[in-house]
Amino acid sequence: MAGPASGQAGSKDALARLNEAVGELRALAVQPLLQDAVAALQADDFQRGGDLAIKALEMDERNGFGWYLLAIARERAGDFASSVRCYESALTLIPNHAEVANDMGRLAYRMGLKDTAEKLFLHYLKQHPASHEGANNLACALRDQMRFAEAIEILKPAIAAHPTNALLWNTLGTVVGEEGDPGMSVTFFDEALSHDPAFAKARYNRGNARLVLGDLDGALDDCQTALTSPMSEDERLMMLLSRSTIRLARGEIAAGWEDYEVRLAPAFADVTHFMIDAPRWTPDTELAGKTLLLLGEQGLGDEVMFANIIPDVIAALGPSGKLLIAVEPRLVTLFQRSFPTAEVGAHSTWSVDGHTVRGAPFVGDHGRLDAYAPIASLLRRFRASVAAYPDRPGFLTPDPDRVAWWKTQLPAGPTVGLLWKSLVQAGSRHRFYSPFEQWKPVLAVPGVTFVNLQYGDCAAELEAARADLGIEIWNPPGIDLKQDLDDVAALCCALDLVMGPSNASSCLAGACGAPLWLLSITGSWPLLGTDHYPWYPQARVFRPPTLGQWNPAMQAMAGALTERLSAGTKA
């Protein structure tokens, strides 16, 4: 949801206050330069503003306002690393000018440093306790650290003091939405829009909440309406990416993949820059006989899921073409086995001045490439409709020797692999995974051995199953479920069934053709508007009636498992 720290470095109000402060420096020789720099920034000429600030600092390197003006100029130019250093110098030299802390907090927030942003926003709010912007920004930083109750406590007095402020109502909506109550969040977004009907972020946020609630038409209408409002380019791109999710969830697949391309726009806040010295693939690029590099992107589960298209790409390249595939290092062995005609290696990812950069060092000479593509971009060509998803039970090949070995190690009788969470729980993702205790109806099904496939620290959940239910979930020996992904794939294929939410391991199971039951939610875009999982056609999907109401889905899953066992069906 869009409820980020509000305001902008160098906003009109902030620059007006800064100009007042600079005007009081009449005795200093740098004062005219500083005022000219402020005027340049007010005219959105950030290059000239920065140059004038540098000239002022050449005359007096201890002038905090010069560092502050340079920080604003460098931030607006996208040079976050330099901007941070300038803000730090300014805050040291003029600690009582709270605008510095607020602007620096916004930059820290934008760079993902939420705990640092929290401290800076708190510093600003202490000096400006009546500032609704300060309260909003601090609440955003707390929300993004999943400290929802604290965020609400910051917002309550601010809303009491500013009851018609749409920004505060919007942020309150994002807090309760992230906490897991989309219905209540809609109420607060409605309140924000009642005070400011043109508030695009509130309308966009209401659309996202409606998507989770299953109102796909309302979600698209809100997103479309929000996009008609004036906004910054990065906000517009964020909303277009949200529209891609809504369109995919509605089954508008071709349009959804077109919108999804905005993730690669340079102005998109979370853009990944691909350091490949070759032309980027476009839908009109001829593939036959060419050498193409595909790069995995998004999360590990998405890398696996998007690999659904690789057999089609290899066929399109033809016998005289060549495919190179850059994937997460843990996937290299599995992909090499699955696509023996392709050259497979690991991609590398760096953070450079707050920006994500990805390359493929194994490629060596980029001159041998005709084109490269982030793997999801080719979905526009190969998966533009549900009918384009092939009815094949798998597209990755597990190690057959390890599959056979695991079958000798598993306990006798029906075996079911169990997953229940993702280790990536940032933002609202935690809402989409049922608490472990909700699995009780499934775990209570007799006659089956549950096998732990959950990577990460899950000792507490395994002990809870043992202590509360008397269920011993079998832990496979000698395997790191997070790191040994090739062996995880083999283990999944040795089991009679794998069940859980969509995460990296369940995606591996589905991609390798293992029998799979997925716990999904209403509005989940990978369903592509269907009641099944086109990426893994063998998968059976179970969904709660609304977000958070897991018990009906668990009861249905438990009943289906009982029926399978009664019928003597392992898969």
Q: Is residue 209 part of a domain?
A: no
**Is 5 a member of any domain?**
yes
State which of 317, 349, 384 marks the end of a domain. Answer: 384
At 210-237, the pLDDT tens digits run 998 989 999 999 999 999 998 888 889 9
SS (H, E, C) 448-490: CEEEECCCCCCHHHHHHHHHHHCCCCECCCCCCCCCCHHHHHH
Greater confidence (19 vs 377) lies with 377
In the beta sheet, which residues pair with residue 295?
Answer: 326, 374
Same domain, yes or no: 431 and 552: yes
Pairing of strands 343-346, 540-542: unpaired
Residue 134 lies in a domain: no
pLDDT of residue 11: 66
Predicted local distance difference test score (pLDDT) of residue 71: 83
What six digits make up the tokens of 404? 């056979």
Here the CATH number for the domain that contains residue 7 is 1.25.40.10
Higher pLDDT, 551 or 23: 551
Choice among 89-103, 360-374, 399-413, 468-482 with the minimum mean pLDDT: 89-103
Within this chain, do residues 440 and 547 fall inside the same structural domain, yes or no? yes
Region 360-367: what's the mean pLDDT? 96
The pLDDT tens digits for 261-313 are 999 999 888 899 999 999 999 999 999 999 999 999 988 999 999 999 999 99
**pLDDT, mean of residues 423-446:** 74
Lowest mean pLDDT among 25-39, 243-257, 395-409, 544-558: 25-39
**Claim to verify: residue 379 and residue 431 sit in the same structural domain:** no
pLDDT over 70, % of the chain: 93
Could you tell me the pLDDT band of residue 117, with boundaries at 50, 70 and 90? confident
Question: Contact at 8 Å (CB) between 294 and 325?
Answer: yes
Does position 571 have pLDDT exceeding 50, yes or no?
Answer: no
Pull the structure tokens for residue 523: 């509005």
Residues 433 and 538 occupy one common structural domain = yes
| 67 in a structural domain | yes
Q: Provide the strand spans (E) within 269-376.
A: 272-274, 291-295, 322-327, 343-346, 348-352, 355-359, 371-374
Backbone angles phi, psi at 23, to 5 degrees: -60, -20
Taking the C-alpha atoms of residue 54 and residue 46, their distance in angstroms, rounded to an integer, is 12
Query: What's the domain count of the chain?
Result: 3
Note whether residue 437 is domain-resident: yes
> What is the mean pLDDT of the segment spanning 140-163?
95
pLDDT of res. 428:
52
As given in the structure block, the two tokens for residue 70 are: 């340079």
Domain contains 136? no
Q: Find the helix or strand (DSSP H, E) in which 56 lies.
A: helix 46-59
Q: CATH code at 490?
A: 3.40.50.2000
- DSSP bridge partners of 280: 372
In this structure, what are the phi and psi dihedrals at residue 111, rounded to the nearest 5 degrees?
-85, 0
State whether 365 and 405 are in the same domain. Answer: no
Min mean pLDDT across 113-122, 136-145, 197-206, 331-340 is at 113-122
425: pLDDT strictly greater than 60: no
pLDDT band at 491 (very low <50, low <70, confident <90, very high): very high
* Residues 423, 367 within the same domain: no
- Alpha helices, DSSP H, located in 111-232: 114-127, 132-143, 148-161, 166-179, 182-195, 200-212, 216-226
Evaluate whether 373 touches 291 at the Cβ level (below 8 Å). Answer: no
CB atoms within 10 A of CB 141: 28
Average pLDDT over residues 122-150: 92
> In 10 A of CB 483, how many CB atoms?
12
User: Looking at the chain, how many residues does it have?
Assistant: 571
Can you tell me whether residue 389 is helix, strand or coil? coil
Instruction: Identify the residue whose tokens are 């595939």.
Output: 325
- How many CB atoms lie under 10 A from the CB of residue 559? 13
In the 3-class helix/strand/coil scheme, how is 59-71 assigned residue by residue?
A: HCCCCHHHHHHHH
pLDDT band at 78 (very low <50, low <70, confident <90, very high): confident
Strand partners, 106: none
Do 408 and 555 belong together in one domain? yes
Residue 534, token pair as written in the block: 């086109």
11 and 119 both lie in a single domain: yes
Q: Give the residue with greater pLDDT, 75 vs 422.
A: 75
Contacts (Cβ under 8 Å, ≥6 apart) of 147: none
pLDDT at 409: 96
Q: Is the pLDDT of residue 64 over 80?
A: yes
Q: Which amino acid is at 149?
A: A
- For the segment 258-272, what is each residue's pLDDT rounded down to a tens digit? 999 999 999 888 899
The residue type found at 192 is: A
Which structural domain, as residue segments, surrounds residue 516? 400-566
Least confident of 15-19, 328-332, 398-402, 460-464: 15-19
Tell me, yes or no, whether 504 lies in a domain.
yes
* pTM across the whole model: 0.82
In this structure, the answer to whether residues 558 and 421 fall within a common structural domain is: yes
Residue that finishes a domain, picked among 128, 150, 169: 128
Structure token digits, residue 172: 């309150």
* Model pLDDT, residue 479: 95
* Separation CA 216–CA 201 (nearest Å): 18
* Same domain? 342 vs 479: no
Which range has the top average pLDDT, 67-71, 114-118, 438-442? 438-442
Q: Is there a single domain that holds both residue 430 and residue 539?
A: yes
Contact predicate 93/62, CB 8 Å? yes
User: 128, 154, 186 — which closes off a domain?
Assistant: 128
Specify whether 374 is located in the same domain as 497: no
* Distance (Å, whole) CA 538 – CA 493: 13
pLDDT at position 431 over 70: no
User: Tokens at residue 203, please?
Assistant: 């309308």
Residue 6 has pLDDT above 70, yes or no: no
- Summary mean pLDDT of the chain: 90
What is the pLDDT at residue 414?
A: 96
Query: Who contacts 31 (Cβ-Cβ below 8 Å, separation ≥6)?
Result: 22, 23, 25
CA neighbor of 239 nearest in space, from 199, 270, 208, 271: 208
Q: Is 7 a residue whose pLDDT tops 90?
A: no
Task: Indicate the burial class of 189 (C-beta count within 10 angstroms; 0-12, 13-18, 19 or more).
Answer: buried
Q: Among 358, 398, 353, 423, which residue's Cα sits nearest to residue 513?
A: 398
Confidence of residue 549 (pLDDT cuts 50, 70, 90): confident
Angle (nearest 5°) at CA 392 between 259 and 398: 100
**Would you call 409 helix, strand, or coil by DSSP?**
helix
Do the domain assignments include residue 372? yes
Which residues does residue 498 pair with via DSSP β-bridges, in sequence order?
417, 516
Q: What are the tokens at 204?
A: 């966009």
The alpha carbons of the chain give a radius of gyration, in whole angstroms, of 27
